[in-house]
């Protein structure tokens, strides 16, 4: 009985094994092979029982009469291994119960207690075993693992990438080796003794204390190496000549052959070429597998194209015409057949003979994902089927996250609540603050005369329709106000009389004439006058508005700007008596600009500009809607207020506080295409970016070295040099093992070193090419 | 410093006299640049000086003792003398005075923000390091500009303005003395003049048609002619090989041999001209009120602006930002760029017409004089008057030198003022010179202490000590350049030509981010192009045959399309409305929920 249990185990394992091998070799090996292999294996194992075989043979012979075939395959006795072909499905209906098996285990003292316990547990448990995962899921898991693995593998490049990105300048090719033959020390510096033979040699060399410091190859030698001898050069030239001649012959021949029009000739040629090629290919397979593989790939490619195209499939015009003729014409049929044969030949799949062990191994490793070979953490130690599963832990994780998320959300809600309260409180405060000034404003617009901090403009008054009229009025008001100011000044001057002229605004010489009326007054400038004499009909209006307008001008004191103190300068060649000349000056000025009114003109101009810049109020009232309309009827006040869209006020003008300056608010649109309009990547605000480009880089503003440094190119390539991709060994290993690699100071004779130096790059190249093929 | 060195050296090595001497020389050589770099410190701290170098070497020796013990022992073994190894008493690079660093500072240093990303940090750190290096290097190389301007100093109680030109010419060396000269040209009326940018060549234009160009230092006449027309103004172009003459009707361009190269008939009645050297623009102001810009590198009119401000006979340029200043009869000064049809700034400067104006090299100050006989100095960055003064005769011509000396012509007297742009008001002239006729043109010669005066009776070259910039940039304006150098410079300058679009009040505007909104930019684009590139094309019905393109059917088709479009618009607007409503509802819902919650809810789990 014990035997039977063991038997079962072995068969099981056997089955597994077989399937694996099949899976592995499915692609290249014919399936018959491994069957044979399996059989032979079983034979090897049970080489002892010849008797049984003999019996079998006998039975087979006896049954040749052929009645009961089934009977012969019946299992008669337990054996270590049973061929799977001998197993029949006799007891299919009945299930093998665990108890059946366990009974034997209990009795058997050989089995360990542990297994017994496990089995007992298994018996007690009512759970059915879980199904192994379906294909998609397993594949998904596999892909995940593969991704992780490759990600980890690739991550070793990270520091190098970061370093290269950070570097101010990268010079390509990265590994620049000096040209020409190098000295032995240079070649040997990074080289390690590896094979025992080499070690032996170097020990010997060490013992004999060969020269260490002095170069084995002297500079003279180097120079001689560089230069070529005459004979050598001659030989080289002859070789080249020969090669050129041969090439020209070959070209001529090819041309001649190309001109031959005979189809048969070409066909024969082609066939011959193919044959030759095949022969070559076979040779290549043995001698140079790499090239052969490449050839094979080419063939594969041609096969693909053939499969894609409709060529040689008797679909063309010619083929159709031939098909009609085929019934009667032998040659036509033949031609069609030929075509089909060609297609078949070309589309036939190539069978690769795997003679190279390494390659087959490689391929195996490619087809089977890596993790299959890895020792995996066994979750369920008993069940081998559950090895592929990894999902056990995931639900737990998922269980955890929602809780955390909930907690986080709760925290957030609390914070939000608090924030909301804060916001509300602030809003309320702002409302309280904001409402009062607004009210004040409204109040002010109604009561103009009241003293208020806010600047009040009459034009702000909404109710006034006749705006233009009002503006004119305003101008006049301003002008008149200016006049009054002047008069005020004059009166002050007269009061001061002949007092010392030092500080104060009034000792300046000429006085601007405003208009004709003032001109008349000019004659009696220095005579005392009553303060602010109303000389115009509008002055009443002016006075009415003077209080607020004066307020406005308090900020921008025109007086100070336009009649700034002017010091009189005595000039050596000009004995000037300024006091005497004042009258004369005034008279001259009077003559010169009798007509114009400079200041008011300027102010008008400025006001016009300001008005133009101010956004217009959009009036959307439709007269006649909801009420009577017609000539002389205006829409009601309520309506006007309701349908007038007020625009947001523009930002304060640059010249707001400069009364004698008008600064254009227009944008310089022509500059815009040259400016940066979008903030470039790493910068977060314009200040950062602007500060980064504030230093000019041109040679006009910098010294030569600084210019060079500032305009250093990010990438430098050497002309004509091949830029190879980075090789892992060169960078990652060298980074980790550089201090160790520097160590050996090995010396040996010169030519050996040279050879070694010459060999090394080729080795590296090979490695590289292999890597690329992968 | 030199006195301190022997002590110092004796303290370190006592025995060997010969060596000591050698070391002394070594000391002095090494210290000379150091001395130059700190001229202010020396007189102020005579006691501290000797102690300082003593300390430093001793320290160094200590450090060196620790560091180079091995080295010394090695040398000893080799059998060399066991004298201590000499150390540099001032290790590292020479320090740069802060004032000089300040001179080359460009803007504020920007600190890396706290939460910045790696790339941003790197970018900022790199740019900061580079700009600091640039600043330091520039400050270090400033040492190569040793020349300084000096002024005329009078004896006690002597007014410098009374010193005559003859006296000055006698007192100074022959070469400088020869720079005071008169050209007697009484025949062809008041002269206008212009110096070439490097100050070597002088161009004279008499009102009655006399044009001459002279290498004024060697007094070599390059060409002379009479154009047989009124000459309003003359101006050198970018090199001394070409000049422009504003004649009675047109603008002419001649070469230095006097051959007429162009007659630009697009520019008529030109009264004043200015040449913007870095833009290769010739700005002209005409009697008809037009301000025109001619690009002399391609011969194209860049902009022609009708100022509508009357006759333009007062003109100056701001060398800092290439903005042209025009003075007008109504006492205003307007600032113009070729990119804007209206003045950038208009300021009321005088009560009468503006007679003359000039702007200083740094673009900070503008000086104007008007018919009201005032002379005003403005800060044109803030557009505020700094100070004004009253000149009894009024200034007809003004000119500012490279070093900021202001010259004003009042009648037949030329006055020169020092510190015109300073904080103090003008008090009395620094120099004065009376001429034989009314002054018509006034210009300082660049890189020379010379003021050229064109007047009724010819031309006078006047010596004004301290007027010119003593250091010149040989790559930009080299007074001593050869023919070949000039050619090379011309090519380079053309390559580096600044486009006229970049002219504006703030020349640093280009280095700023354009913050205009998309709408605004689009509007500008539409204005520039004359059509809207993003506008939807108007539907144009296809012409169908066989009578199917009758007016009625075409109209029908049109209406169909219009209807579809309208439907689209309506659909979109409805969608938007719905979305907005939804948002509002959500907000209100949130509010309601929040409103229902009490303060105690936060404790609920």
What is the DSSP secondary-structure string of B208-233? Answer: TSEEEEEETTTTEEEEEEE-SS-EEE
A351 or A345, which is more confident:
A345
Provide CB contacts within 8 A for B154, sequence distance 6+: B160, B163
Q: Mean pLDDT throughout B280-289? A: 96
Q: Could you count the other beta carbons within 10 Å of the beta carbon of residue B363? A: 18
Question: How far apart are alpha carbons A176 and A165 in whole angstroms?
Answer: 19
CB A339 within 8 A of CB A326: no
The pLDDT of residue B286:
95
Tokens of B276: 């913007």
pLDDT, greater one: A117 or A745: A117
Q: What is the pLDDT of residue A420?
A: 63
Contact B190, B438 (CB under 8 A): yes
At A140 the pLDDT is: 96
Q: What is the pLDDT of residue A573?
A: 60
CA A362 to chain centre: 34
Do the chains contact at B113 and A414, CB–CB below 8 Å?
A: no
Distance from CA of A403 to the nearest CA of B (A): 13
pLDDT given for residue B35 in this prediction: 42
Residue B346, Cα to own-chain centre: how many angstroms? 21
Buried b (16+ CB within 10 A) or exposed e, B20-57: eeebbeebeeebeeeeeeeeeeeeeeeeeeeeebeebb
Residue that wins the pLDDT comparison between A503 and B310: B310
Split at pLDDT 50, 70, 90, the class of A531 is very low
Task: Tell me the pLDDT tens digit for each residue of A667-692.
Answer: 888 898 899 989 999 899 999 999 99
Answer whether residue A116 shows pLDDT above 70.
Answer: yes
Does residue A166 carry a pLDDT above 50? yes
pLDDT band for position A414 (50/70/90)? low
Instruction: With a cut of 70, say whether residue A539 has pLDDT above it.
Output: no
Q: Which residues of A touch B511 (CB under 8 A)?
A: 690, 693-694
pLDDT, position B5: 39
Topology of B160-493 in CATH?
Methylamine Dehydrogenase; Chain H (2.130.10)
Q: How far is A753 from chain B (nearest CA, A)?
A: 35
Report angle CA A33, A38, A39 to the nearest 5 degrees: 100
pLDDT confidence of residue B237: 95
Rounded Cα–Cα distance for residues A294 and B9 (Å): 80
* Span B47-61, average pLDDT: 40
CB of A746 within 8 Å of a chain B CB? The answer is no
Distance of CA A634 to the CA centre of its chain: 65
pLDDT for A385 equals 52
Give yes or no for B107 touching A (CB within 8 A). Answer: yes
ipTM (interface predicted TM)? 0.78
Q: What is the dihedral angle through the alpha carbons of A585, A588, A593, A598, rounded to the nearest 10 degrees? A: -10
Chain A, nearest residue to B492 by Cα: A700
Q: Which residue has the higher pLDDT, A109 or A640?
A: A640
Q: Which residues of B touch A704 (CB under 8 A)?
A: none
Q: What is the mean pLDDT of residues B255-282?
A: 95
Whether residue B143 lies within 8 A of chain A, CB to CB, comes out as no
Average pLDDT over chain A, rounded to an integer: 67
- pLDDT band at residue A459 under the 50/70/90 scheme: very low
Which pLDDT score is estimated for B489? 95
- What pLDDT does residue A517 have? 42
Vertex B249 angle, CA B247 and B255, to 5° = 40
Sign of CA dihedral B482, B485, B491, B497: negative
Q: Edge to edge, what strands does the sheet with B323-327 contain?
A: A661-663, B345-348, B332-336, B323-327, B314-318
Residue A482 has pLDDT above 50, yes or no: no
Q: Which of A30-34, A114-118, B211-215, B555-559 is predicted with the least confidence, judged by mean pLDDT?
A: A30-34
Mean pLDDT score across all residues of chain B: 84
pLDDT score of A548 more than 80: no
pLDDT greater than 80 at residue A439 = no
B195 pLDDT tier (thresholds 50, 70, 90):
very high
The pLDDT score that the predictor gives to residue B564 is 95
Residue B3 pLDDT class (50, 70, 90 cuts): very low
* Contacting residues of B for A417, CB less than 8 Å apart: 594, 597, 601-602
Q: Which residues of B touch A519 (CB under 8 A)?
A: none
Has residue A21 got a pLDDT over 50? Answer: no
CA separation for the pair A481, A483 (Å, rounded): 5
Give A713's pLDDT tier (boundaries 50, 70, 90). Answer: very high
Give the model confidence (pLDDT) of B208-253 as tens digits. Answer: 999 999 999 999 999 999 999 999 999 999 999 999 999 999 999 9
**Which of A419, A692, A693, A709 would you mutate first to test chain B, the one with the most B CBs within 10 A?**
A692
Q: What is the pLDDT of residue A258?
A: 86
Q: Chain B contact for A430, CB < 8 A?
A: no
Q: From CA B209, how far away is CA B232, in angstroms rounded? A: 9
pLDDT value at A157 more than 50 = yes
The whole-angstrom distance between A519's CA and the closest CA on chain B is 15
Percent of chain A whose predicted confidence (pLDDT) is above 90: 11
- Provide the chain B residues 536-565 that lie in CB contact (below 8 A) with chain A: none
For residue A647, the distance in angstroms to the closest alpha carbon of chain B comes to 17
Contact: A695, B131; criterion CB under 8 Å: yes
Stretch A237-249: mean pLDDT:
95
| Cβ-nearest to B133 among A414, A601, A706 | A706
B162 interfaces chain A, CB cutoff of 8 Å: yes
Q: What is the pLDDT of residues A254-265, one digit of tens each?
A: 999 888 989 899
Query: Is A364 or B276 the better-scoring residue by pLDDT?
Result: B276
**pLDDT at site A732:** 67
Tell me the nearest-neighbour CA distance from A616 into chain B, angstroms. 18
pLDDT at A424: 66
Res. A514 pLDDT band, cuts 50 70 90: very low
Give the one of A576, A596, A694 whose C-beta lies nearest to B330's C-beta: A596
With 80 as the cut, is the pLDDT of residue A620 above it? yes
Suggest the residue from A564, A694, A711 to mutate for an interface test with chain B (most B CBs closer than 10 A). A694
Please report residues of B whose CB lies closer than 8 A to that of A596: 330
> Alpha-carbon distance A744 to A737, whole Å?
13
Q: What is the pLDDT of residue A458?
A: 38
Instruction: Give the pLDDT confidence score for residue A167 in this predicted structure.
Output: 87
Contact A569 B108 (CB under 8 A): no
Strands B332-336 and B345-348: antiparallel
pLDDT, position B324: 97
The answer to whether B513 and A675 are in contact (CB under 8 A) is: yes
Q: Is the CB of residue B479 less than 8 Å from the CB of residue B198? A: yes
- What confidence score (pLDDT) does residue A230 get? 76
| A506 shares contact with chain B (CB less than 8 Å) | no
- Which residues 560-599 of A have a C-beta within 8 angstroms of B? 561-562, 564-574, 576, 578, 581, 585, 589, 592-593, 596, 598-599
B428:A710 CB<8 A: no
Structure confidence at residue A209 (pLDDT): 61
Does pLDDT of A556 surpass 50? no
Q: Going edge to edge, which strands form the sheet with B450-455?
A: B181-184, B458-463, B450-455, B439-444
pLDDT reported for residue A213: 43
Question: What confidence category does residue B486 fall into, taking pLDDT thresholds of 50, 70 and 90?
Answer: very high
User: Terminal CA-to-CA distance of chain A, rounded, Å?
Assistant: 53
Cβ-Cβ pairs closer than 8 A, A with B, add up to 231
CB B205 within 8 A of CB B196: no
B97–chain A Cβ distance below 8 A for any pair: no
User: Would you say residue A738 has pLDDT above 70?
Assistant: no
Top-ranked range on mean pLDDT: pick from A150-159, A327-336, A490-499, A761-770 = A150-159
Cβ-defined contact of A688 to B138 (cutoff 8 Å): no
What single string gives the DSSP state of each residue in A305-373? HHHHS-TTSS-SHHHHHHHHHHTT-HHHHHHHHHHHHHHHHHHSPPPPP---HHHHHHHHHHHS-GGGT
Which residues lie closer than 8 Å to B45 by C-beta, 6 or more apart? none
Name the residue in chain A with its Cα closest to that of B346. Answer: A662
Q: How far apart are CA A555 and CA A659, in angstroms?
A: 10
Question: What integer is the mean pLDDT of A349-377?
Answer: 45
A155-171: buried (b, 16+ CB within 10 Å) or exposed (e) per residue? eeeeeeeeeeeeeeeee
Of A571, A689, A700, the CB nearest to B410: A571
> Does the pLDDT value for residue B527 go beyond 80?
yes
**Spatial distance between the Cα atoms of A357 and A578, rounded to a whole number of angstroms:** 117
CA distance, residue A521 to nearest chain B CA (Å)? 18
Q: Is A668 on the interface with B (CB under 8 A)?
A: yes
User: At CA A677, angle to CA A673 and CA A679, rounded to 5?
Assistant: 150
Q: Do A663 and B426 touch (CB under 8 A)?
A: no
* Residue (of B467, B369, B367) closest to B420 by Cα position: B367
Does residue A259 belong to the interface with chain B, where contact is any CB pair within 8 Å? no
- CB distance B298 to B315 below 8 Å: no
Q: Touching check for B527 and chain A: CB below 8 Å?
A: yes
Least confident segment among A94-98, B62-66, B109-113? B62-66
First CA to last CA distance, chain B: 81
The confidence band for B135, taking pLDDT boundaries of 50, 70 and 90, is very high
pLDDT of residue B90: 85
Nearest to A692 among B123, B337, B601 (CB): B123
Banded model confidence at residue A216, pLDDT cuts 50, 70, 90? low
| Overall average pLDDT of the B106-116 stretch | 85
List A residues 375-414 in contact with B (Cβ-Cβ < 8 A).
410, 414
Contacts of B339 in chain A (CB under 8 A): 668-671
DSSP B506-546: -GGGGGSB----HHHHHHHHHHHHSS-TTSPPPP-PPP-ST
pLDDT bracket for residue B555 (50, 70, 90): very high
């Amino acid at each position: 009985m014990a035997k039977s249990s063991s038997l079962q185990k072995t068969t099981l394992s056997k089955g597994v094994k077989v399937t694996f091998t099949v899976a592995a070799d499915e692609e290249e090996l014919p399936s018959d092979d491994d069957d044979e292999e399996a059989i032979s294996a079983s034979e090897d194992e049970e080489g002892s029982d010849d008797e049984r075989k003999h019996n079998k043979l006998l039975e087979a012979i006896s049954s040749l009469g052929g009645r009961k075939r089934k009977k012969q395959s019946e299992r008669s006795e337990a054996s270590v291994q049973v061929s799977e072909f001998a197993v029949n499905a006799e007891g299919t209906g009945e299930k093998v119960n665990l108890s059946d098996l366990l009974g034997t285990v209990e009795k058997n003292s050989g089995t360990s207690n542990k297994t017994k316990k496990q089995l007992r547990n298994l018996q007690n448990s009512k759970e059915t075993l879980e199904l192994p995962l379906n294909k998609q899921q397993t594949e998904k898991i596999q892909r995940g693992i593969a991704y992780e693995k490759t990600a980890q593998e690739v991550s070793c490049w990270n520091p190098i990438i970061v370093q290269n990105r950070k570097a101010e300048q990268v010079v390509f090719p990265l590994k620049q080796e000096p040209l020409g033959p190098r000295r032995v020390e240079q070649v040997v510096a990074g080289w390690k003794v590896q094979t025992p033979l080499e070690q032996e040699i170097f020990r010997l060399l060490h013992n004999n204390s060969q020269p260490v410091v002095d170069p084995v190859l002297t500079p003279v030698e180097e120079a001689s190496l560089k230069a070529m001898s005459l004979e050598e050069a001659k030989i080289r030239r002859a070789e080249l000549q020969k090669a050129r001649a041969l090439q020209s012959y070959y070209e001529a021949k090819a041309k001649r052959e190309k001109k031959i029009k005979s189809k048969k000739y070409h066909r024969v040629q082609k066939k011959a070429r193919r044959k030759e090629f095949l022969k070559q290919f076979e040779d290549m397979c043995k001698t140079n597998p790499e090239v052969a593989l490449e050839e094979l790939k080419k063939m594969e490619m041609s096969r693909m194209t053939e499969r894609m195209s409709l060529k040689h499939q008797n679909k063309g015009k010619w083929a159709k015409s031939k098909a009609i003729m085929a019934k009667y014409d032998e040659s036509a049929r033949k031609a069609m057949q030929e075509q089909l044969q060609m297609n078949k030949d070309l589309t036939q799949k190539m069978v690769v003979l795997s003679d190279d062990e390494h390659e087959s191994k490689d391929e195996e490793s490619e087809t089977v994902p890596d993790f299959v070979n890895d020792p995996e953490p066994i979750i369920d130690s008993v069940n081998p089927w559950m090895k592929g599963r990894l999902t056990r832990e995931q639900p737990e994780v998922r269980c955890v996250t929602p809780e955390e998320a909930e907690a986080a959300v709760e925290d957030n809600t609390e914070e939000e609540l608090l924030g909301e309260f804060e916001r509300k409180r602030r809003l309320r405060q702002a409302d309280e603050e904001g409402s009062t000034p607004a009210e004040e404003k409204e109040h002010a617009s109604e009561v103009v005369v009241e003293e208020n901090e806010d600047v009040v403009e009459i034009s702000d008054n909404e109710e006034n329709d006749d705006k233009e009229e009002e503006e004119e009025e305003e101008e006049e008001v301003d002008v008149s106000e200016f006049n009054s100011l002047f008069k005020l000044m004059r009166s002050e001057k007269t009061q001061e009389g002949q007092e010392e002229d030092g500080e104060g605004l009034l000792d300046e010489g000429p006085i601007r004439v405003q208009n004709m009326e003032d001109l008349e007054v000019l004659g009696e400038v220095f005579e005392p006058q009553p303060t602010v004499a109303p000389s115009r009909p509008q002055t009443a209006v002016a006075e009415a508005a003077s209080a607020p307008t004066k307020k406005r001008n308090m900020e921008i004191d025109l007086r100070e700007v336009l009649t700034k103190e002017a010091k009189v300068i005595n000039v050596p060649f000009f004995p000037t008596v300024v006091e005497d000349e004042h009258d004369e000056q005034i008279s001259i000025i009077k003559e010169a600009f009798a007509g114009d009114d400079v200041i008011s003109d300027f102010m008008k101009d400025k006001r016009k500009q300001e008005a133009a810049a101010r956004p217009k109020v959009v009036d959307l009232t439709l007269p006649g809607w909801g009420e009577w309309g017609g000539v002389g009827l205006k829409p009601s006040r309520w309506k006007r207020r309701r349908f007038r869209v007020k625009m947001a006020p523009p930002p304060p003008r640059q010249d707001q506080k400069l009364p004698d300056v008008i600064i254009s608010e227009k944008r310089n649109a022509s500059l815009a295409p040259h400016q940066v309009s979008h903030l470039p990547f790493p910068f977060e605000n314009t200040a950062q970016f602007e500060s980064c480009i504030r230093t000019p880089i041109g040679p006009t503003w910098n010294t030569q070295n600084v210019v060079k440094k500032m305009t250093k190119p990010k990438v430098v390539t050497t002309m004509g040099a091949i830029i190879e991709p980075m090789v892992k060994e060169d960078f990652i290993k060298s980074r980790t093992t550089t201090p160790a690699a520097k160590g050996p100071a090995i010396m040996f004779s010169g030519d050996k070193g040279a050879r070694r130096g010459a060999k090394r790059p080729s080795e590296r190249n090979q490695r590289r090419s292999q890597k690329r093929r992968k | 410093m030199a006195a301190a060195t022997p002590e110092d050296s004796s303290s370190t090595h006592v025995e060997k006299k010969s060596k000591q001497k050698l070391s002394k020389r070594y000391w002095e050589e090494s210290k000379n640049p150091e001395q130059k770099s700190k001229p202010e410190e020396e007189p102020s701290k005579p006691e501290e000086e000797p102690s300082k170098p003593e300390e430093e070497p001793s320290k160094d020796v200590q450090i060196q003792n620790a560091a180079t013990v091995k080295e010394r022992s090695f040398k000893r073994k080799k059998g060399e003398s066991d004298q201590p190894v000499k150390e540099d008493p001032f290790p590292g690079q020479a320090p740069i005075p802060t004032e000089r660093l300040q001179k080359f500072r460009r803007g504020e240093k920007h600190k890396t923000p706290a939460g910045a990303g790696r790339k941003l940090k790197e970018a900022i750190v790199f740019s900061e390091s580079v700009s600091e290096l640039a600043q330091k290097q520039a400050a270090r190389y400033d040492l190569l500009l040793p020349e300084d301007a000096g002024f005329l100093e009078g004896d006690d109680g002597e007014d410098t303005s009374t010193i005559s030109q003859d006296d000055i010419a006698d007192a100074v060396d022959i070469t400088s003395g020869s720079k005071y000269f008169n050209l007697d040209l009484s025949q062809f009326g008041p002269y206008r003049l212009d110096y070439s940018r490097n100050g070597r060549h002088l161009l004279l234009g008499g009102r009655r048609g006399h044009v001459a160009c002279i290498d004024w230092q060697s007094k070599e006449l390059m060409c002379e002619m009479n154009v047989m027309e009124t000459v309003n103004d003359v101006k050198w172009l970018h090199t001394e090989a070409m000049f422009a003459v504003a004649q009675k009707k047109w603008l002419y361009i001649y070469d230095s041999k006097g051959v007429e190269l162009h007659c630009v008939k697009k520019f008529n009645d030109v009264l004043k001209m200015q040449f913007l050297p870095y833009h290769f623009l010739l700005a002209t102001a005409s009697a008809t009120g037009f301000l025109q810009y001619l690009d002399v590198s391609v011969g194209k009119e860049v902009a022609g602006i009708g100022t509508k401000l009357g006759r333009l006979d007062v003109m100056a340029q701001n060398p800092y930002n290439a903005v042209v200043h025009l003075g007008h009869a109504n006492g205003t000064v307007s600032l113009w760029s070729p990119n804007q049809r209206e003045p950038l700034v208009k300021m009321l400067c005088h009560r009468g017409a503006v007679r003359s104006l000039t702007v200083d090299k740094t673009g900070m100050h503008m000086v104007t004089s008007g018919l009201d006989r005032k002379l005003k100095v403005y800060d044109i960055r803030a557009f505020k008057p700094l100070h004004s003064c009253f000149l009894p005769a009024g200034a007809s011509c003004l000119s500012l030198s490279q070093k900021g000396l202001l010259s004003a012509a009042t009648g037949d007297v030329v006055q020169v003022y020092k510190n015109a742009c300073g904080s103090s008001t003008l008090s009395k002239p620094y120099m004065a010179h009376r001429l034989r006729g009314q002054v018509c043109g006034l210009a300082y010669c660049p890189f020379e202490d010379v003021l050229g005066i064109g007047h009724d009776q010819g031309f006078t070259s006047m010596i004004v000590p301290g007027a010119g910039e003593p250091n010149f940039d040989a790559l930009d304006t080299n007074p001593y350049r050869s023919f070949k150098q000039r050619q090379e410079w011309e090519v380079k300058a053309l390559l580096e030509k600044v486009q006229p679009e970049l002219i504006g009040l703030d020349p640093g505007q280009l280095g700023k981010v354009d913050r205009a909104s998309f709408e605004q930019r689009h509007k500008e684009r539409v204005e520039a192009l004359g059509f809207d590139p993003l506008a939807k094309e108007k539907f144009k019905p296809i012409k169908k045959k066989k009578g199917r393109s009758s007016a009625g059917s075409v109209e029908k088709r049109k209406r169909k399309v219009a209807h579809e479009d309208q439907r689209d618009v309506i659909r979109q607007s409805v969608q938007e409305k719905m979305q907005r409503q939804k948002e509002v509802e959500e907000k209100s819902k949130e509010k309601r929920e929040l409103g229902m919650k009490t303060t105690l809810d936060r404790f609920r789990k």
